Structure 1
């Protein structure tokens, strides 16, 4: 039985964002292939209570779950300085942190805990999510003969390009340096696969978002909403939601029923008529079934937009901007209509809601596109190839 050490910085069973959806389905793949997973993460306020850890353990997706602390408990300031802070400063100097790059989150305390796990057990694969933590394996002899894999999730230099003091050349070089340490680099989109492979060649593997298609629903479900908009509150979504409600929403008929789901709702006014705000739902599928069209008004960001893929799987046409098409292997015949200006964006919404033939065409396109590119069958084939599994 192959053993995997898998680091992911969030709680995958919370399913609050696209990255957690990806992690959850990777864990399901490892289980389906009979692999044994030890899961490590970092402590995040509110995410790892005894109850959530127990729910994760009961899922059977990991044999061991370790929640690591970014820093040790401070306690006595003098003792903290001489037993940790001073050594952490020296550790960061050894890492040679690059000025102007995006953050490096591999603190000395995290590295010590990571190394302690490797001393207890050798692994066939070590998978790290995000280049923030790539230096877990930097100059690390405890890795042994494990195949090391970085699951990039995003081009982080692009994500941080608006940070104060950001240097794009330094950041891109640092990102490539971090990724080059690994035997494999998993990219979630064709665009990032192309970019990384220009420098890292055959190390780069295209591992798309993988999802389970929703079960067919025999009964007719009442369509309570014309539009559904699902989003977290990262900076890209904040800008996109503000643009939609300021520029597009006023152009729509007053009776257009919109359902907004996710923590983005904290940033949407409660005063908009016919707009329902739902911060969290246990069953997102049920709301997709109650909606007619999905929205993705992204203005910035990289990687595949998970909510677009989810909408496709449910046969919902997607009205999006050009950034909403990022991560899709083909930009046409995919169930989406895209536009960047508010007038055309609003017109696309009204076209799809009023034109039954167009609606059905986009619905069929989206479902077929999902099956071809993002289904379990398609994704597992790519993962099998990357991990050297013959089936």
Structure 2
């Protein structure tokens, strides 16, 4: 049986944010193909691993769990703070590098004691682990590009200059044998920058849902799902501060996830739910999904999941990031508060428009995003 090592900082069994859901379904598919999966993850970062064995016992997606203490990275970065400051002054700041000598040592001990056929990594922050100077093994290396990290740092204001960030991201991605992009946009960009590498477009691994007989609620239920990352917080605040007052129809607004902690003020038609166990039940009971994000890269998992249920979506331009077609996917897109609210108002009051959006989303998802379209790609990737 072939063995794979996932290098992913989070506990992906916690399906509480888009990237975890993406990695979880990838692991399920690879296990169904007969691969054994070990996970190299971070403690003292975001995830908690106290209940990992209990969470893993049902599906047994992970054979062995290896944990690196992220506090080592924090201390290492503090000791080298002056070097980062000089780089910023010289405008050649690199993308964050989480790799430390102790991480390299631990990683090489693991990969030399177990013969992995593949190493799969999801963030370029840890790519130096498999650089020619650090990695001593011979496993095939595959990068699943979930986000364009250099652009994300730049647009969020964490870095003033993008040149050094992008250069370092290109360099780290060049360490891999194959690069799998969740975003069509990022595949097109990077295959031009690294013409000698193999690139693939593989959207979120999700299938079309059978929702025959689903009825629209009399008071339309409008949903936003969001983990408490900076993009979701920013998007929700933009919505309530700029869009909410322009909504003229009677709706029930449902916000789900840790982002609820950052909604200021009270709204009579708002229901906040921090955690939902059954997302299918939630999607089957809502009529519309919104994605008011102002920033971000990659593909929005929340948008793709809504599309799999044929639910009409109102979003900003960031909501259709990563989709091969930005105009004919069935989503209503607006970047202005008035336009965003108007799209909600029209969907809530215009039955013909609502059904038209449903039809377009169903057709687009079946042709472009359905896992059935890409099912043959995964075995070929690992051939």
TM-score over 0.5 (shorter chain) = yes
C-alpha separation in 2, matches of 1:7 and 1:231: 24
Other-structure match for 1:80: none
Q: Is the 8 A contact 1:10 1:44 kept in 2?
A: no
Q: Is the 8 A contact 2:316 2:333 kept in 1?
A: yes
Query: Secondary structure, in 3 states, of the residue corresponding to 1:14?
Result: coil
1:170 aligns with 2:149: no
Give, in angstroms, the shift of residue 28 of structure 1: 0.9
What CA RMSD, in Å, does the superposition of the two structures yield over aligned residues? 2.7
1:131 aligns with 2:131: no
Other-structure match for 1:81: none
Deviation larger for 136-145 or 166-175: 136-145
**CA gap 1:150/1:236 in 2 versus in 1, 3 angstroms:** same
Query: Secondary structure, in 3 states, of the residue corresponding to 1:67?
Result: strand
2:229 to 231, 234, 252: 234
> What per-residue deviation string (whole Å, max 9, x for no partner) do you get for residues 99-125 of structure 1?
522210112222221111112111111
Other-structure match for 2:253: 258
Give, in angstroms, the shift of residue 144 of structure 1: 3.1
The alignment's TM-score, normalised by the length of structure 1, stands at 0.88
Deviation larger for 205-214 or 220-229: 220-229
Map 1:12-23 → 2, pairs under 5 A: 12-23=12-23
C-alpha separation in 1, matches of 2:55 and 2:12: 11
Q: Is the 8 A contact 1:71 1:107 kept in 2?
A: no
1:366 aligns with 2:353: no
1:329 aligns with 2:304: no
Q: Is the 8 A contact 1:224 1:291 kept in 2?
A: no
2:289 to 289, 294, 313: 294
Give, in angstroms, the shift of residue 364 of structure 1: 2.2
Map 1:42-121 → 2, pairs under 5 A: 42-44=42-44, 47-71=47-71, 99-121=92-114
1:183 aligns with 2:177: yes
C-alpha separation in 1, matches of 2:201 and 2:23: 15
Give, in angstroms, the shift of residue 141 of structure 1: 7.0
* Structure 1 portions without partners, runs of 5+: 75-83
C-alpha separation in 2, matches of 1:35 and 1:174: 32
**CA gap 1:30/1:246 in 2 versus in 1, 3 angstroms:** same
**CA gap 1:35/1:165 in 2 versus in 1, 3 angstroms:** closer
**CA gap 1:217/1:376 in 2 versus in 1, 3 angstroms:** same
C-alpha separation in 2, matches of 1:330 and 1:72: 43
Give, in angstroms, the shift of residue 165 of structure 1: 4.9
Query: Secondary structure, in 3 states, of the residue corresponding to 1:291?
Result: coil
Query: Secondary structure, in 3 states, of the residue corresponding to 1:160?
Result: helix
Other-structure match for 2:146: 153
Other-structure match for 1:24: 24
2:204 to 184, 209, 226: 209
The alignment's TM-score, normalised by the length of structure 2, stands at 0.89
